[in-house]
Amino acid sequence: MSRSAHPAGPRHADVLTEGHYSAPAADLNVLDEKVWSRTVTRDADGALTVGGIAVARLAEEFGTPAYFLDESDFRARCRAWSEAFGPDADVFYAGKAFLSRAIVRWLKEEGLNLDVCSGGELTTALDAGMPAERIAFHGNNKTAAEIERAVEAGVGRIVLDSFQEIVRVAHIARSHGVRQRVQIRVTVGVEAHTHEFIATAHEDQKFGIALADGQAAEAVRRALGLDSLELIGIHSHIGSQIFDMAGFEVSARRVVQLLAEVRDEHGVELPEIDLGGGLGIAYTSDDDPREPHEIAKALSDIVTRECESAGLRTPRISVEPGRAIVGPTAFTLYEVGTIKPLEGLRTYVSVDGGMSDNIRTALYDAEYSVALVSRTSEAEPMLVRVVGKHCESGDIVVKDAFLPADLAPGDLIAVPATGAYCRSMASNYNHALRPPVVAVRDGEARVIVRRETEEDLLRLDVG
Ligand SMILES: *Cc1c(COP(=O)(O)O)cnc(C)c1O
């Protein structure tokens, strides 16, 4: 949920006017490095370049709309996470943020593990050569067929999400003659929002098994009683786009309490805990995300402290960043089609994509930034709303932002930080063709997911 839609009211409500937009940046031509991928800069002509290639060339070669993903930034973020957590912890990239075979190969090369949550994601991971033991399989309603494939492939862990699933996975593992490594996902009663969290006894959501009322302890009892399951630990994931580490503090404390109960009741110290993902990134200049090494230190301090006070050995920690790795590494490039000034309100800028390539604004009231990238401009800032071409008035890409007042049809504009949950949630609404993802690195650009074609649409429509 975005700040402006938060039940607690918008942050800075006192300084924001009605649209909740911040004041325009002093210079609209400056690309804030917080929201753009690392190799983005402006060249001598004022055009944005990524990986050394100017956007005009990218637009010409690959068309618009398109996602451009900064491969060296992606790899650097993978390394930063794995170095921050070190050899005694495991980093799982959450594939649902954005997954393709190229991504899987980069993850493999950079030493990361991978979370999948469907048969399709599992197939992509295995096809691109991710070793099965580095894959974790998630989801609140995995089908029997998906569980079979995961067990047959030999995935490193299946994260059990319900009492039914404990039995289901145990049964399938037994019929394959294997002892499947599993974790149990618990809900710890932490509702984490961007800038705050609420600790409750219960969580009203579909995932996991509640710690409350001894539910999770009962799940552990059942899993430990089944020979075909090897229970390696407890999993908890508290939300998304989180900046406040206090939510993780409560979550880790409650999970460690469960580990202590398990030891007291069964004489077993479960060796692992997984604290999930959900770490925030900068979508606008107002956001201040933490660096991986700060997050790693904070999480490991919390777990170590809680375990010491419970007299437990410190378990191996895993984390599952998705957005924090891929989110900042891509931007969406659009061409401006029409411009409608609404006197006294704002100017509507229509682009050649929209809610089919970025549903987050409509779905979560998410905030984004935008910049004119095919040139610089010295014109005054104008308040704009960037909208798509879909038959839907909620088809908004950027709710409130400033672009130069001399913006014209044919200009290229780009929305940064669209690497996560944009292509992966893209749709064919209005029979839109989903845009390509183009990886850019060291002066070379290559398509890693091609643009959909009208033939693709017709192929599915069997008439
Ligand atoms: C979605 C999800 C993640 C990743 O969340 P991000 O916000 O992308 O970091 C990690 N773990 C689980 C279980 C998830 O469902």
Domains of the chain listed by start with CATH number: 41-70+327-458 (2.40.37.10), 138-321 (3.20.20.10)
b (16+ CB within 10 A) / e for 107-125 = bbebebbbbbbbbebbebb
Mutate to test the pocket of ligand 1, among 81, 90, 91, 96 (most ligand atoms within 8 A of CB): 96
Q: Assign 13 a pLDDT band (cuts: 50, 70, 90).
A: very low
Q: Report the first-to-last Cα separation within the chain, whole angstroms.
A: 40
Tell me, what's the pLDDT at 233?
98
Tell me, what's the pLDDT at 57?
98
Cα of 324 from ligand 1 centre, angstroms:
10
pLDDT in tens, 258-302: 999 999 999 999 999 999 999 999 999 999 999 999 999 999 999
List the beta bridge partners of residue 340: 348
Token couple for 138: 């998630």
Q: Is pLDDT above 50 for 137?
A: yes
Which DSSP letter does residue 116 get? E
Please count the CA atoms within 13 angstroms of the CA of 209 that sit on its side-chain side. 26
Look at strands 113-116 and 89-94 and give their pairing.
Answer: parallel
Ligand 1 pocket, residue 138 CB under 6 Å:
yes
Q: Which residues contact 18 (CB under 8 A, 6 or more apart)?
A: none
Q: Identify the residue whose tokens are 């409500």.
A: 13
Phi then psi dihedrals of residue 453, to 5 deg? -120, 165
What ligand 1 atom has the least distance to the C-alpha of 239?
7
* Local structure of 53: helix, strand or coil: strand
Catalytic residue among 78, 307, 391, 422: 391
Annotation says 391 is catalytic: yes
Cα of 177 from ligand 1 centre, angstroms:
31
Tell me, what's the pLDDT at 17?
44
What ligand 1 atom has the least distance to the C-alpha of 276?
11
